[in-house]
Amino acid sequence: MKFVNFLILLIPVRAQQLYNPKPSTVIPWKSHNATSVGGSAIFNQQYYLSDRTNAAVEVFDISSASQITTIKGFRGLVPHPHNKSDPLETEKANLELSGPNGLVVLSDRDELYVADGDGTVRVINLANNSIVANISTGATRRANAVAYCPWTKLVFVTYPNIQENNPQGVFVDPLARSVAGQVTFNRPNTGTLTHGYHVASTLSEAVYKPNDRFYVASSSTVVNPGGEIIEIDPFTLTISHTFGLDNCYPVGLMFNNEGHLFVGCSNGRGLASPSAGGPTGYSLVLRTSSNKWSVIGNVSGVSGVDQVAYSQSLGSWFAAAYRERTAKTRTAGSSSPNSSSDETTHKQEKSAPQVDIINSTTNKVQHRIQTDNRTGQTVAVDPHTHNLIVPLIGGIAIYKLERNATHYLDESIAASTQVDSYVGIVTLMLVVLTFYICM
Ligand SMILES: *[C@@H]1O[C@H](CO)[C@@H](O)[C@H](O)[C@H]1NC(C)=O
Ligand SMILES: *[C@@H]1O[C@H](CO)[C@@H](O)[C@H](O)[C@H]1NC(C)=O
Ligand SMILES: *[C@@H]1O[C@H](CO)[C@@H](O)[C@H](O)[C@H]1NC(C)=O
Ligand SMILES: *[C@@H]1O[C@H](CO)[C@@H](O)[C@H](O)[C@H]1NC(C)=O
Ligand SMILES: *[C@@H]1O[C@H](CO)[C@@H](O)[C@H](O)[C@H]1NC(C)=O
Ligand SMILES: *[C@@H]1O[C@H](CO)[C@@H](O)[C@H](O)[C@H]1NC(C)=O
Ligand SMILES: *[C@@H]1O[C@H](CO)[C@@H](O)[C@H](O)[C@H]1NC(C)=O
Ligand SMILES: *[C@@H]1O[C@H](CO)[C@@H](O)[C@H](O)[C@H]1NC(C)=O
Ligand SMILES: CC(=O)N[C@H]1CO[C@H](CO)[C@@H](O)[C@@H]1O
């Protein structure tokens, strides 16, 4: 029996690497004190970020590492009607009325569509970075996520509409700059969303799967309390499939090149991830082909995710797990203010904001980059230069992955393999020793 127990110990346990590269550049915010951001995008070497705190879309040039301009004309953070005293606090702001939120580049039109807090979609001309149109979606509260189908030339806009408990999706025709259709989603599970004003929405990310359909994440509905992924046909302008999830509360979505959908879970109420015992939360990878949907990957240790990016050339997803939590184990009696003769071990959760880099072939975490739990909710990666960009309180952090990705990966894998072999050898010696002792 003992021998068998030791054999189990021989299975190598690969410790999760916390990878903390220094960003190659941190561009300070020109508009100060950003505490609440929406989506981000990279196009033509420029980085666009929805900055709710400063009621603007911020534009940065990546190669010169400088801020180009601030595009004003957005709603900004609207204080909660029940507490007007603290407009800078995200949790106290009424996100249902705030913006800018999601944004998407229409590369064939050289335009950026940005969803705002009053239900308007504002169109930015990328040649001169100015708002050239405001399209009313008919909504009166925040328009949230946006996605673009270049095939049918339609923009899909989500309208969470928490207040009326009536989430909608609106199709916008960029040529006519008007609404072309509408779908109604399952109602949110208000029993699950008990955070009151702190609830941002149940409808979160929207993505377009190339040459296929739109996909939207809904965190928790009456029909599917653990959340659902909704597929929308851009030709018939109707919902073509709904896939229910258990205990995921999906927020971020992103397809890889093989058409696999990464689903960033929040795994709990609000955006917090699960309980003590290490990073036990997870995100999922789905196959969405026709009506044969299935879960093909379970990415352990990645939760509290907001937005997700993908790089085909690096073969990785990048998940902004800004509300990730890990267990902090502490033995009473040391630095504890309650120190006494109590020798029990207390487990507490601790905020562990990070961007997780996930191999999109193996669906395993390759690296974790530490971020912050305020503005680290969005992530973008430049397909050409492999610059990974995360907005942090201290500035816009740019990680150059192209030159150093392989280097970092090799180094980290080498380090963890060394640890594995070392653990293996020690265990083997113990087994041999025990075997002789028992004899
Ligand atoms: C409103 O926000 C202020 C500043 O954070 C806080 O001191 C106050 O307690 C809040 N009031 C309510 C009713 O939540
Ligand atoms: C930006 O370009 C668009 C399209 O050419 C034009 O209509 C608009 O007036 C320009 N805006 C500014 C501020 O130059
Ligand atoms: C769009 O709306 C914003 C905010 O009200 C305003 O600043 C801007 O001038 C408008 N632009 C156009 C082209 O209507
Ligand atoms: C994913 O794995 C976790 C354990 O890490 C498990 O609790 C959960 O049920 C799994 N979810 C799915 C959908 O497979
Ligand atoms: C320490 O004791 C106080 C008072 O009994 C209690 O409120 C608090 O939760 C305890 N803290 C911990 C970490 O156990
Ligand atoms: C964010 O991090 C700070 C500092 O670690 C922590 O005090 C706070 O509780 C965290 N907030 C959330 C929502 O996790
Ligand atoms: C991802 O995993 C595949 C299969 O093991 C491997 O061939 C590939 O090199 C990995 N990608 C990276 C970036 O490490
Ligand atoms: C990439 O790694 C190499 C080797 O450690 C280092 O010399 C170089 O400065 C790094 N480049 C960047 C852009 O961080
Ligand atoms: C309220 C607050 O945080 N204000 C800060 C905004 O940013 C400027 C410049 O970085 C600081 O000096 C302020 O303290």
For residues 203 and 184, is the Cβ–Cβ distance under 8 A? no
Residue 142 has pLDDT above 80, yes or no: yes
What would the pLDDT profile of 13-57 be if each residue is shown by its tens digit? 333 344 556 788 899 988 888 889 999 999 999 999 999 999 999
Least confident of 6-10, 187-191, 258-262, 311-315: 6-10
Q: CA gyration radius for the chain?
A: 23
Q: What is the pLDDT of residue 350?
A: 78
Q: How far is the CA of 314 from the centre of ligand 7 (A)?
A: 9
Helices 2-9 and 401-438 meet at what angle, rounded to 10? 170
What would the pLDDT profile of 208-227 be if each residue is shown by its tens digit? 999 999 999 998 888 998 89
Residue nearest to atom 10 of ligand 8 (CA): 404
Cross-strand partners of 348: 328
Ligand 1 atom with minimal separation from the 89 CA: 5
Number of separate helices (H) and strands (E) present in the chain:
2, 30
The alpha carbon dihedral of 64, 68, 74, 79 has a sign of: positive
Q: What is the pLDDT of residue 404?
A: 45
d(CA 123, CA 146): 12
pTM score of the predicted model: 0.81
Q: What is the mean pLDDT of residues 53-72?
A: 96
Structure token digits, residue 11: 């299975």
What would the pLDDT profile of 161-190 be if each residue is shown by its tens digit? 988 889 999 999 999 999 999 999 998 876
Q: How far is the CA of 90 from the centre of ligand 1 (A)?
A: 13
d(CA 195, CA 74): 26
Q: What is the pLDDT of residue 346?
A: 44
* Any atom of ligand 7 within 6 Å of the Cβ of 181: no
Residue 5 has pLDDT above 50, yes or no: no
CA separation (Å) from 193 to 185, 196, 321?
16, 7, 20
* Any atom of ligand 6 within 6 Å of the Cβ of 351: yes
Least confident of 102-111, 231-240, 307-316: 307-316
Q: How far is the CA of 104 from the centre of ligand 2 (A)?
A: 19
The DSSP code sequence of 195-249 is SGGG---SEEEEEE-TTS-EEEEES-BSS-TT-EEEEEETTTTEEEEEEE-SS--
DSSP 194: -
For residues 185 and 160, is the Cβ–Cβ distance under 8 A? no
Burial class (CB in 10 A: 0-12, 13-18, 19+), 61: middle
Q: Please name which of 16, 10, 47 lies closest in space to residue 379, comparing C-alpha atoms.
A: 47
Q: What is the pLDDT of residue 20?
A: 56
Q: How far is the CA of 286 from the centre of ligand 4 (A)?
A: 13
What would the pLDDT profile of 241-296 be if each residue is shown by its tens digit? 999 998 888 999 999 999 999 999 985 544 444 443 344 589 999 999 877 899 99
- Give the ligand whose atoms come closest to the C-alpha of residue 273: 6
- Amino acid 136 reads S
Q: What is the mean pLDDT of residues 320-349?
A: 55
- Mean pLDDT in the chain? 80
For residues 59 and 71, is the Cβ–Cβ distance under 8 A? yes
d(CA 54, CA 346): 41
For residues 62 and 41, is the Cβ–Cβ distance under 8 A? no
